[in-house]
Amino acid sequence: MRFADRVVFVTGAGSGIGRATARLFAAEGASVFAVDVNEQGVAQTVDAIRQAHGTADGLRCDVTSTPAVEAAVGRAVAAFGGLDILVNAAGIGRFLRFEEMDEAEFERTLSVNLGGSFRTIKAALPHLLKPPIGNVVNVASTAAFRGNAYASAYAASKAGLLNFSRSLALEFASRDLRVNCVCPGGVKTPLVRGFMRREDFEQHLIDYQMPPKAGTFSEPEDIAKAIAFLASDDARFVNGAGLLVDSGTLA
């Protein structure tokens, strides 16, 4: 029960890593406020937590909208009396040739994956800085560490998120607010469907993205455990980290 009496706000909680994370925090005693652009997915996550005798609430929230994010954080604080941990798991992406990408897609990818974390942290910060000081865990990717052919917007957003997190970790270190990233490789989530290979791709440019042991894509629960570690007091000296959970893909 590492998170008893803690309030956790999780974006992207309607499926995949976000849902697994919300359920794990609730199982370890937290009150969880779940948000996602998928209203039905959020409702299913909240119902699953409550059926397991956990504490949860949530609503639909588009993290590209500042008013929506501010309203959601306000609802979480009103529901549970504060906010201790913020997990930014909302994300989008897919394989696409650069020639096929329009400006709207590029901007939306950055707005969700990078801008979403900016908006939630901005809204949550006054609450996170109240004693006991909270912390933030952002979900980046192995794509934060090197270029990704056919995923330039996604890679740019995740690299930006990693350095954004490191920068905030430095800026708020004197106030004891920790900011870390978990950086997964391939995970069995709905998002992975957007990264299916195409016959017109140069195969050797994307082979490196596969883990050294075939068939070792992780489950969302594997990433949730890494997130919970970073958010817990077990990681009290971990700050500004980009924790790879990729089965050795970048090794």
The residues annotated as belonging to the active site are: 154
Q: How far apart are CA 141 and CA 225, in angstroms?
A: 16
Question: Which stretches of the chain are DSSP H helices?
Answer: 16-27, 39-51, 66-80, 103-110, 116-128, 152-171, 220-231
Q: How far apart are CA 240 and CA 165, in angstroms?
A: 6
Residue type at 165?
S
Q: How far apart are CA 58 and CA 54, in angstroms?
A: 13
Closest CA to 245 of 181, 159, 192, 149: 181
